[in-house]
Amino acid sequence: MRARIVVLPGDGIGPEVTAEAVKVLCAVATVRGHVLSFEEAPFGAAALSAGLPPLPDATLEACRRADAVLLGAVGGPEWDGLPPDRRPEAGLLALRRELRLYANLRPIRAFGGVAAASPLRPETLEGTDFLIVRELTGGLYFGEPRGRTTTDGQRAAVDTLVYCEEEIRRVARVAFEAARLRRGRVTSVDKANVLHSSQLWREVVSEVAKDYPEVTLDHMLVDSAAMQMVLRPTAFDVLVTENMFGDILSDLGAGLVGSLGLLPSASLGATGPSLYEPVHGTAPDIAGRGLANPTGAILSAALLLRHALRLPEEAALVEAAAERALAGGSRTADLAGGGSSLSTAAFGDRVVALLA
């Protein structure tokens, strides 16, 4: 098969980890006889520094024409003080909105060989394997009105948490479809004891559940879900939730398995290209030093193969190679606990070597 992939390396460690993901994609394409072409485009702070908006028009057009988009991460301390709409992250929100990527899939899995990096006891962590489905284009990050005002010298700020039923229904369907192919359980997470939007969320998810009699649905409040993720992470199969709760819980999930650097994500819409990115940020503290763990980016490339290019066998090959690298003792600094470690590129080479 032939496919065109737009790569948005972004900022900080973004270029380092996407380079390894591209390396692995090229290797798997060679092994399996596919032709993948890659086009890099400016995005985030990299675009702002060149005098462009965080999502330049040409970048968006290139993404629209692509079969899939592979992203590193955006942002950095020098931009942190700016208003939200002038920060690199504004580009990311705009890209998700423009490509209508409403469902963010974040698999959280305990990897063999790296249990020591987790703060959980090994017996609590063992067997952890769940999928967070996060709503991505609604809720607090997009709702209107939003912004700041000053009245009589008093500063105030507002964000709006709004969901309409179709936004909830379509992401719930993604969760139930995923559960069908997994262990058949959906946990819907909300704050229905306090929020009107959560009461609607609970109602609509329960309606969607009627179309999936083979899937068990339960509802959990977000505070309780956070606690259960730490106490009994193996109890979850598919967890579906709104945008901000999903943002927070997925980082908690990353913490459970030991490093933000391990976890991938896929952002899907109804039509058009989908977006693949590791869950971590730009890690300015380690950027440019070859210390970043590229596993999340490499596993994002595997999700790209599975969801965008419909190449499940190739995806499984990449996942197995990354897991074998970790299980075999290959470590980047974040997982090495002060012991000897591989550079970002050397870890990527190791995964490529294990692909065969």
Q: Which residues bind ligand NAD (CB under 6 A)?
A: 13, 17, 73-76, 80, 89, 92, 259-261, 280-286, 292-293, 296, 334
Q: Find the shortest distance in angstroms from Cβ 334 to ligand NAD.
A: 4
**8 A C-beta contact, residue 74 and residue 10:** yes
* Closest CB to ligand NAD among residues 285, 313: 285
CB of residue 235 vs ligand NAD: minimum separation in angstroms? 26
141 has catalytic annotation: yes
Smallest separation, CB 333 to ligand NAD (Å): 7
User: Which of these is catalytic: 191, 212, 237, 349?
Assistant: 191
Q: Hey, which bits of 1-124 come out as E strands?
A: 2-10, 35-40, 68-73, 103-109
Calculate the alpha carbon distances from 182 to 130, 186, 263, 268 in Å.
Answer: 9, 10, 19, 18
Determine whether 251 is an active site residue: yes
Half-sphere exposure of 127 (CA within 13 A, CB side): 9
Q: Pairing relation of β-strands 154-160 and 185-190?
A: unpaired
- Is 191 known to be catalytic? yes
Q: Is 102 helix (H, G, I), strand (E, B) or coil?
A: coil
Backbone angles phi, psi at 299, to 5 degrees: -70, -25
Q: Which lies closer to ligand NAD via its Cβ, residue 74 or residue 209?
A: 74
CB of 286 to ligand NAD, least distance (A): 5
- The CA distances from residue 104 to 40, 122, 274, 300, in Å, are 23, 28, 10, 12
96 φ/ψ angles, rounded to the nearest 5 degrees: -60, -40
- Based on the residue annotation, tell me whether 223 is a catalytic residue of this protein: yes
Based on CB atoms, which residue is closest to ligand NAD, 187 or 243?
243
Name the nearest CA neighbour of 248 among 139, 100, 123, 116: 139
The closest residue (CB) to ligand NAD is 281
Mark whether 237 is an active-site residue. Answer: no
Q: Which of 141, 163, 212, 276 is catalytic?
A: 141
By C-beta, is 61 or 78 nearer to ligand NAD? Answer: 78
Q: Which is nearer to ligand NAD, 179 or 292 (CB)?
A: 292
What minimum distance in Å lies between the beta carbon of 157 and ligand NAD?
18
Up-side HSE of residue 324: CA atoms within 13 Å toward CB? 14
From the candidates 237, 247, 334, 349, give the one annotated as an active-site residue.
Answer: 247
Q: Which of 85, 211, 218, 223 is catalytic?
A: 223
Q: Catalytic residue numbers?
A: 141, 191, 223, 247, 251
